[in-house]
Amino acid sequence: MLTWRKIASFLVLLLLVAAGIFYFQKTLSVIVTHPRRGQAIEAVYATGTVESSVTVRIAPERAARLVALAADEGIKVKTGQILARFDDAELQANLQEMRIRQRNAEQHVSRMEKLYQRGATSIELLEQARADADAAKAVTQRFQVQVNSLTLFSPVDGEVIRRDGEVGDFIPVNQPVFYLRKADTPLRLVVDVDEEDIPAVKPGQPVLITTDAFSGHVFHATVSDITPKGDAVTRSYRVRVILPASIPLLIGMTAEANIITAQRENALLIPNSALINNSVWLFKAGKAVPQSVKIGAKNADKTEITEGLSEQDLLIVDPPLSLKANQPVNAKLPEKAGAQS
């Protein structure tokens, strides 16, 4: 009985060893594909914000309390249209007082001229009366300008895109209350491009724009201009992209831009999943063979190969990290299940 138990244990051990040998010697299966010809695009990626190409900021020249609003966001306005009024009661009182003083001074000049014509006064006194009248007129005009400054007018035809301030608020001097988009001016996307990428960006280059607000849509625009001075802190340059009127983006939206810096037809392309540190794995004579390559343009799913591959090569897609040079493998094309020899 003991002998049969030993024999059975030995047979089980042999089976385990055989299974292990079979497992470790089993040939690895991989997916392979041919490089394909297609369009290669080099692009510079950047993010930015949509804004008006001409924004007019309207602010009071004097600090005062806002007492009336005559326009609001989204309203189209004409040149000279009243937008808001500020408290001018004190200035109006001063203006009325100066108008009275000016009128009295002018009447005094009239009397002095008559007296001078009759020889009843000197030229010096007449000139002094005229100077006093001119001074009163200048002060009156100054008060009138100050009163006028407490009414905000639209300097252009346009649309109110933002309003800051409510009736009753005290608005400091030069703090904008209205932001106007000038009529017949396009929107633009302003993006920040890294300094290492900016040499490749030129006015007139096409731009592909995407945004979360319009998921799944790609909009086409054009680079307008590039600021000549970069930001030393962010190490970037501001690039302006003019948006066609057909693009439904709104002021203030954030967007992603791919600036097309180069475009080549008939380029040799491979899946990004086949590329590892500027090298690929080829399937040759039933084995995995490493191959160094030179890459060109790269996008989200494909990379251009400029040296090291041909259309006839079979390259391994998603090569396992454990893959070794000249390791035997079984290969399958993505669209076929048959092994390739």
Q: What is the CATH number of the domain that holds 323?
A: 2.40.420.20
Q: Which of 264, 280, 305 is the last residue of a domain?
A: 264
> Domain span at residue 289?
28-39+265-340
* Domain of residue 98, CATH code: 1.10.287
Predicted pLDDT of residue 24: 44
Tell me the mean pLDDT in the region 64-83: 95
The answer, yes or no, to whether residue 245 has pLDDT greater than 80, is: yes
The domain boundary, picked from 227, 242, 264, lies at 264
Structural domain contains residue 335: yes
| pLDDT(296) > 90 | no
**Same domain flag for 191 and 252:** yes
pLDDT at 335: 61
Burial of 4 (0-12, 13-18, 19+ CB in 10 A): exposed
Q: Which residue has the higher pLDDT, 256 or 40?
A: 256
How far apart are the C-alpha atoms of 251 and 185, rounded to whole Å?
Answer: 13
Q: What is the pTM of this model?
A: 0.64
Can you list the positions of beta strands (E) in 150-298? Answer: 151-153, 158-163, 170-171, 178-182, 187-194, 206-210, 219-226, 236-242, 254-271, 279-284, 287-292, 294-298
Give the number of domains in the chain: 4
The per-residue pLDDT for 12 is: 60
In a domain, 9, yes or no: no
Q: Which residues pair with 171 in a beta bridge?
A: 64
**C-alpha to C-alpha distance for 245 and 292, rounded to whole angstroms:** 47
Q: Rounded to whole angstroms, how far apart are CA atoms 268 and 201?
A: 24
Of 157, 171, 185, 177, nearest in space to 251 by CA = 185
pLDDT at position 249 over 90: yes
* pLDDT the model gives residue 15: 64
The whole-number pLDDT of residue 254 equals 96
Q: Are 131 and 239 in a shared domain? A: no
d(Cα 313, Cα 298) in Å, to the nearest integer? 20
Residue 238 lies in a domain: yes
The mean of the pLDDT values for the chain is 89
pLDDT in tens, 160-181: 999 999 999 999 999 999 999 9
The percentage of the chain sitting over the pLDDT mark of 70, rounded to a whole number, equals 90
State how far the Cα of 78 lies from the Cα of 70, in Å rounded to an integer.
12
